[in-house]
Homo-oligomer: A and B are copies of this chain.
Amino acid sequence: MDEQESDGVKRVSISTEKSLPIALLRARESVMGPIRSMLANAGVTEQQWRVLRVLDENTSMDPTEIAERSCLLLPSLTRILQTLGEKGYVDRSPHPTDGRRLRITITPSGRRFIASNMAESERIAARLESHLGKDKMELLLDLLNELDGLRL
């Protein structure tokens, strides 16, 4: 119940319980718990893992594309690519025609890293889906995508 409703006045204010941003945050925390453990063992952060996975799905990308697909801002990505380069998981080369751009590629070592951790990642995802139910999962993804598509 809403603590501030004891005076009989219906509170219009959105108590933090019903706030969508906070609900999204909490839900994400719950989902990320097991994934974080897995990634901590593997020695990468959640964001580094996202970048590697996006790169693994594509042969070569420039930072702007990577940022878009892994949901990171460019300044963050600059630092992450720096770290991943030091770990030997990505290479960078100049763009053939546009001197402003870079071509980022995942190295064989990076692909091996993904391969050796993907099974566990998928086990975690499968366990989540089995707990929530396939139908609810799809419904949830649809709603989230719709939210993402809204132009506010």
Chain A residues near B (Cβ < 8 Å):
3-4, 12-16, 18-35, 46, 50, 53-54, 57-58, 69-71, 118, 121-122, 124-125, 127-128, 131-132, 136-137, 139-141, 143-150, 152
Contact = CB atoms under 8 A, between A and B. Distances in A.
Contacts of A32: 21
B30 A152 contact: yes
Contact of A132 (B30, B54, B131, B146): B146
- The main secondary structure of chain A at its interface with chain B is helix
A11 to B, nearest CB: 9
Contacts of A25: 28, 71
Given A57-B4, A141-B23, A31 B147 contact: yes
A122 B30 contact: no
A146 B135 CA distance: 14
A54 to B, nearest CB: 6
A128 B20 contact: yes
A14 B122 contact: yes
12 contacts: A3-B57, A4-B57, A20-B137, A20-B140, A21-B28, A23-B140, A23-B141, A23-B148, A25-B28, A33-B152, A128-B152, A139-B139
Given A21-B31, A28-B28, A152 B131 contact: yes
Contacts of A24: 24, 27-28, 31, 144
B57 A26 contact: no
